[in-house]
Amino acid sequence: MDGIRNIVILTGAGISAESGIATFRGPGGLWEGHRVEDVCTPEALAADPVLVHRFYDLRRAALDTVRPNAAHEALARLDREWPGELLIVTQNVDDLHERAGARRMLHMHGELRSALCAACGERRAWSADLPPGTACDVCGAAALRPDIVFFGEMPYQMERIEAALARADLFVSIGTSGAVYPAAGFVRGAQAYGAATLELNLERSEGSAWFDATRLGPAGRLVPAWVAEVLGS
């Protein structure tokens, strides 16, 4: 990995598939016949808050039944051992990267184990069920909602991501379909700043043509092999 010092890694639902968490698109997808971009919106939340809150309550509770897989563990090892800059940007709302031990990471699409106040914007750790109308500790409004970035809402920490992409020597995308922006555009952004780009995915994605190289296979096999290569072991 000559000349590589700063790495940005983007992960998607595919990295958690081998832990037993369904991906969004494709057969058996999480939204079962609905297009995620039709149902995962602020309008859907406003129309049926009980249904949407319940959906996320079930997924939050299901986190107790899954654990990190070899791909999450390999990225946590990279985080511990890589001497240069590293940022793992996950689109996932599960907590498997941090449970594997990754620290230099962020959740751009929110977190299941967090609640967001729709009135004041406060975010707080949340592990129980979250019924509609739960009051915010900070402003008192009965406005806590799942801390999930819906379509049409701004993903978190975009400035930090853009700054990391601008400094990256290598951008790696793992287990994401390249169907959702702005994440799907990171490969071209990183390239414009001069980074090399690599995709690790089960199959070719909508964005594959943009990458310098694509390796196909399950993340649980590809990611540990790639991390060993990067760390020279």
Respond yes or no: is residue 53 known to be catalytic: no
Determine, following the binding rule CB under 6 A, whether residue 158 of this chain makes contact with ligand BJW: yes
The interface region with ligand BJW, picked from 79-87, 95-103, 128-136, 170-178 by CB under 6 A, is 170-178
- Report, in Å, the least distance between residue 167 CB and ligand BJW: 19
Determine, following the binding rule CB under 6 A, whether residue 23 of this chain makes contact with ligand BJW: yes
Determine, following the binding rule CB under 6 A, whether residue 203 of this chain makes contact with ligand BJW: yes
Determine, following the binding rule CB under 6 A, whether residue 154 of this chain makes contact with ligand BJW: yes
Determine, following the binding rule CB under 6 A, whether residue 91 of this chain makes contact with ligand BJW: yes
Residue 99 or 215 having the CB closest to ligand BJW? 215
| DSSP letter for each residue of the chain | -TT---EEEEE-THHHHTTT---SSSTT-TTTTS-HHHHSSHHHHHH-HHHHHHHHHHHHHHGGG----HHHHHHHHHHHH--S-EEEEE---S-HHHHHT--SEEETTEEEEEEEETTT--EEE--S---TTPPPTTT--S-EEEEE--TTSPPTTHHHHHHHHHH-SEEEEES--S-STTGGGHHHHHHHTT-EEEEEESS--TTGGGSSEEEES-HHHHHHHHHHHHHT-
Residue 181 or 233 having the CB closest to ligand BJW? 181
Determine, following the binding rule CB under 6 A, whether residue 109 of this chain makes contact with ligand BJW: yes
Give catalytic residues, as residue numbers. 109
